[in-house]
Amino acid sequence: MKRFLLSGILIAILTFNIASAQTKITVQTEESAGVIDRHIFGQFSEHLGRGIYPGIWVGEDSDIPNTEGYRTDVLEALQDLSIPNIRWPGGCYADDYNWRDGIGPRDKRPVTLNVFWGQVPDENSFGTHEFLRFTDLINAEPYLSVNVGSSTPKEMSDWVEYLTYSGETTLTKERRANGKDEPWKIKFWGIGNESWGCGGNMTAEFYADKYKQFATYARDLSGNELYRVASGKYNNEYAWTDTLMRKAGELMDAISLHYYTLPTDDWDDKGPSIGFGEDQYISTLRNGLKMEDFVIGHSKVMDKYDPDKRVVLAVDEWGIWTNQLEGTTGGFLEQQNTLRDAFLASTTLDIFAKHNDRVKLANIAQTVNVLQAMILTEGDKMVKTPTYYVFQMYKVHQDATRLPLELDSPDYSFGDITIPALSATASKAEDGSISITLTNVDPKRSHKLALSLEGLGSAKISSAQILTADKFNSYNTYEKPNTVVPKSFKGASLKGEQLTVDLPAKSLVVLTIK
């Protein structure tokens, strides 16, 4: 009996020590680790499933409340995210797209076949002018994907002239006749998409030559300077990056990287987006953290040819990819979005911020109704996903100065998988305010954090929010839209330069200090 009593006391003492142990984090508030470019918080909207129709565009005659044909509820929600850029029209769709199909009177535009996604007709009512008006309405910069796989440099150069030239030519007269007198300023241009796969099944050598040809005809007109993004590869395919940097690096401003996180690592059975257990919760987060290895690997290859880091690594497709929801149309890639997916987003954004010397452009896939969406719609109903709120909470880091941060994270383990429990980013805005985002992916264990804010001086916590839920697979529905939403956080205190945070299990916290 005494042995059992002593064992129980010992277990209680050990449990108390584990629970009360502090994780120390040091933040250098007076030092700079470069700027966290706002463009890493970009979005991606492809002509895929219900992403464009009716996720964004319903037309002026729709019964769904709209502004110039765009869903008003979606516009308002996206405006609140301060989205820096949106990539369009694809994706695989881009390399089968002729921009001329989407200009002029809508009732005279051709109906084309979307061969990649569901093989459904596309009425082309959402074309170049509609997309660029959409970016105006949400105050985002457009990022256009050029058709390299099935098009020509002439078709691309005509698009550039149509959009950006201020003089009098047949193309600019056509633009004016279609309602836009002054040219647009359009910076970001992707020269092809996944040219190793759906964009043409090219070899690296062949695409490098094609890229140089297209990039030569992608001209700066009327003071509009093009930022040319080459089509990179995926995951750890470093040889492709090596070939492109060696053969065409001097003609590019960025090279893309695509990486989708699969819960199971199996493209044939990726795992469900709802109802999953802790095994797929932790495997998803582990697979998401591989992004850092890929960023480092491609950056090392780029350093061989570009030690000054002029060429940017653009992660312009990323996010979780699960099995489609039952009952949805094949090829439409509809999935739910849970607290797990929110943590995938926050930890990935932390990786991008940490590697801000190379990663200055990124686009999560996708904005509405497709893959890891910000927003889901059904008829006139709309719901914001947990990932939406991550991007809302991370707005504080846009174009802010990254502060050096030292964190030795405790582990989170389940089965044979062990990953860091904690992830964090700290930044300083132009007004001097400091923001810290803290993610604890451990679903069972809270953590006491002791943050030393060296050089802070006199300040106080001006705002604090937390994103969490009862379960790691919780999600928002049209009937219950507030299951996973940010709430006020009371678990932080600041005394001098010492910030103490009681970070609950499975939570994301953002603190702003002024």
Same-domain pairing of 133 and 113: yes
Same-domain pairing of 118 and 208: yes
The catalytically annotated residue of 31, 194, 225, 250 is: 194
CA–CA separation, 442 vs 448, rounded Å?
13
pLDDT digits (tens, 9 = 90+) for 407-460: 999 999 999 999 999 999 999 999 999 999 999 999 999 999 999 999 998 999
The number of folded domains in the chain is 2
pLDDT of 11 higher than 60: no
Same-domain pairing of 393 and 417: no
Mean pLDDT of 175-200: 98
Amino acid at 414: F
Give the HSE-up count for residue 40: Cα atoms under 13 Å, Cβ half-sphere: 27
11 occurs within a structural domain: no
Mean pLDDT of 94-120: 97
Quote the DSSP letter at residue 103. S
What's the CATH code of the domain at 387? 3.20.20.80
For residue 150, what are the domain limits? 38-399
pLDDT digits (tens, 9 = 90+) for 47-86: 999 999 999 999 999 999 999 999 999 999 999 999 999 9
320 occurs within a structural domain: yes
Boundary (domain end) residue, out of 399, 428, 444: 399
The catalytically annotated residue of 31, 317, 326, 479 is: 317
Same-domain pairing of 368 and 426: no
Would you place residue 111 in the very low, low, confident or very high pLDDT band (cuts 50, 70, 90)? Answer: very high
110 occurs within a structural domain: yes
Same-domain pairing of 28 and 42: no
Q: What is the pLDDT of residue 225?
A: 98
pLDDT digits (tens, 9 = 90+) for 117-175: 999 999 999 999 999 999 999 999 999 999 999 999 999 999 999 999 999 999 999 99
CA–CA separation, 23 vs 449, rounded Å?
5
The mean predicted confidence, pLDDT, of the chain is 95
Q: What is the pLDDT of residue 20?
A: 46
Same-domain pairing of 93 and 109: yes
10 occurs within a structural domain: no
12 occurs within a structural domain: no
Q: What is the pLDDT of residue 393?
A: 98
8 occurs within a structural domain: no
Q: Can you give the pTM of this predicted structure?
A: 0.95
CA–CA separation, 88 vs 175, rounded Å?
19
Q: What is the pLDDT of residue 153?
A: 98
Q: What is the pLDDT of residue 70?
A: 98
Same-domain pairing of 83 and 104: yes
pLDDT of 6 higher than 70: no
User: Three-class SS string for 172-219?
Assistant: HHHHHHCCCCCCCCCCEEEECCCCCCCCCCCCHHHHHHHHHHHHHHCC
Q: What is the pLDDT of residue 17?
A: 38
Would you place residue 9 in the very low, low, confident or very high pLDDT band (cuts 50, 70, 90)? Answer: very low
Sole residue written with tokens 């702003």: 512
pLDDT digits (tens, 9 = 90+) for 28-45: 999 999 999 999 999 999
Tokens encoding 286: 């582990």
Same-domain pairing of 177 and 212: yes
Instruction: Strands of 379-460 (E only): list them.
Output: 381-384, 401-402, 405-407, 411-414, 417-420, 422-428, 434-440, 447-454
Establish whether 317 is a catalytic residue: yes
14 occurs within a structural domain: no
Would you place residue 10 in the very low, low, confident or very high pLDDT band (cuts 50, 70, 90)? Answer: very low
327 occurs within a structural domain: yes
Same-domain pairing of 270 and 144: yes
- pLDDT above 70 covers what percent of the chain? 96
Quote the DSSP letter at residue 338. B
Do residues 459 and 388 lie in contact, with contact meaning Cβ atoms separated by under 8 Å? no
Same-domain pairing of 422 and 284: no
Same-domain pairing of 351 and 422: no
Boundary (domain end) residue, out of 399, 429, 458: 399
pLDDT of 2 higher than 80: no
pLDDT digits (tens, 9 = 90+) for 467-512: 999 999 999 999 999 999 999 999 999 999 999 999 999 999 999 9
pLDDT of 18 higher than 70: no
CA–CA separation, 232 vs 352, rounded Å?
17
Mean pLDDT of 350-366: 98
Same-domain pairing of 232 and 107: yes
Boundary (domain end) residue, out of 350, 376, 399: 399
What's the CATH code of the domain at 458? 2.60.40.1180
Establish whether 155 is a catalytic residue: no
